[in-house]
Homo-oligomer: A and B are copies of this chain.
Amino acid sequence: MPQQITIGLFGFGSVGSGIYHVLKKKQIPRIHLKTIVVKSPNKPRSIDSKNFSYRAEDILEDTEINVVLELIDDAQAAYTIVKKALESKKHVVTANKKMLANHFEELVALSKKHKVSLLYEASVCGSIPILRTLETSFAYDNLKSLKAISNGTSNYVLTRLFQKLQPFKDIITDAQKHGFAESDPTLDIDGWDSKFKLIINNYHAFGVLNTPEEILNLGIRHVKPEDIEFAKEKNFSIKLIGHSNLDEEGLTAYVAPQFIPKTEALTSIDFENNAVEIDAEFAHQHLLKGKGAGSIPTASAVLSDLVSLFDDYCYGYSKARQQSAEFNDEKLIKVYMSSYDRKDLKPIKFETEILCGTQKHLQYKIGKISVKSLKQQTADLSSELFVAVFPD
């Protein structure tokens, strides 16, 4: 058990500055933030520049620092830092979902090899303690499914679209103005961010580890007012869901917009909120809802990881040890696709076609297709096709 936590912090963006302020406010005995390393000396920041250093070695080669907080954006640079930190036998707390999803196995193995903790609660759903809950409370339950609304930007956009019919682009512009969307929203609205989080969740929930290349991610970029109308008429909401489902045939997992019946709890998760719905054999259905993003809420998850180091906490990965669930992308799912141009629907071949229809000028089709086939057939689409999963 470390008697003293001496922190080297990489990054002073939203979460980095958040944890700085939280630590300053809490003044926790035996926790000391010693060094902050940032990349650019010229960027204006909320605290004096004398607080910053610009050389990674100032943290990585400081033997007094026993914990590295990695809170930078650049996943590749983060990987280099985290790797070196673990090799230097420093505990690591990170929020970098992309880095984790890309280098999960290697980094977990490194942390085990060097007997240090690698914690990353803040990487998935902000302040919702989903990883800790999976690890401690559901470690020996048998999980059947996990559905996550894990991207605040997409959920904000979808909530606004359901409030008032308007073009997708107008909302994105407005969301950017209010700080709910990045200047390049691709990672968020095309499902990449949700996919990284799904990969992390699945390792803890089902013991299955996928690479980002293996997992289908469909986004909400091409959702149209008529799709929203269609959903409303049929008493659905549309949510971007990281969906994982385990049965005898294996683990089905993908990120896609989904039509969710209005009676289901996930429908009520609005704006930038996140939520995770778990169905477990013994505990049955659970919902965790909270702030999925934001400087201080995400910092609260970093803080909970930090203080748990006093108890030598590290993830048990009990599902990976217990089970041998296999990823299976052959499963058929029911899918809705739509476009203003009927030609756009052609490239996607359903296994079984169920329904064809129109909603004003919109053409749509519903049918069954395997996750694998849907992934292959949507890989290089350049059209404005909107694809969403439909309930069975």
Q: Give the B-binding residues of A (Cβ under 8 A).
A: 22, 26, 28, 121, 127-129, 132-133, 136-141, 265, 268, 280, 282-291, 294, 296-297, 299-301, 303-304, 307-308, 311, 316
Contacts and interface: CB of A to CB of B under 8 A. Distances in A.
Determine the main DSSP class of A at the interface with B.
mixed
Contacts of A286: 127-128, 288-291
Nearest to A129: B137
A140 B307 contact: yes
A280 B300 contact: yes
Nearest to A127: B283
Nearest to A31: B140
B291 A288 contact: no
B284 A297 contact: yes
Contacts of A268: 265, 268
Nearest to A277: B289
Contact of A282 (B127, B128, B289): B127
Contact of A304 (B121, B140, B288, B291): B140
Given A265-B268, A265-B289, A139 B307 contact: yes
B287 A303 contact: no
A268 B128 CA distance: 20
Given A26-B140, A137-B129, A288 B287 contact: yes
Contact of A283 (B28, B285, B297): B297
Contacts of A303: 140-141, 282
Contacts of A301: 137, 283
A283 B289 contact: no
14 contacts: A28-B140, A129-B133, A129-B136, A136-B136, A137-B301, A140-B307, A282-B297, A283-B300, A284-B294, A285-B291, A286-B288, A286-B291, A288-B288, A288-B289
A22 B129 contact: no
A304 B127 contact: no
Contacts of A288: 286-289
A289 B336 CA distance: 30
A311 B312 CA distance: 10
B129 A282 contact: no
A204 to B, nearest CB: 14
Contacts of A284: 127, 290-291, 294, 296-297
A299 B138 CA distance: 12
B282 A22 contact: yes
Contacts of A287: 287-290
A282 B300 contact: yes
A21 to B, nearest CB: 9
B136 A304 contact: yes
A297 B280 CA distance: 9
A17 to B, nearest CB: 13
A139 B129 CA distance: 12
A336 B120 CA distance: 46
A296 B308 contact: no
**Closest CB pairs A-B (n = 8):** A282-B300, A129-B137, A127-B283, A283-B300, A286-B290, A287-B289, A284-B291, A137-B304
A285 B290 contact: yes
Given A138-B304, A140-B304, A288-B289, 20 more contacts: A22-B282, A127-B282, A129-B137, A132-B132, A136-B308, A139-B307, A140-B303, A140-B307, A141-B300, A141-B303, A280-B300, A282-B300, A282-B303, A283-B300, A285-B290, A286-B290, A287-B287, A287-B290, A288-B288, A289-B289
Contact of A296 (B129, B132, B133, B282): B282
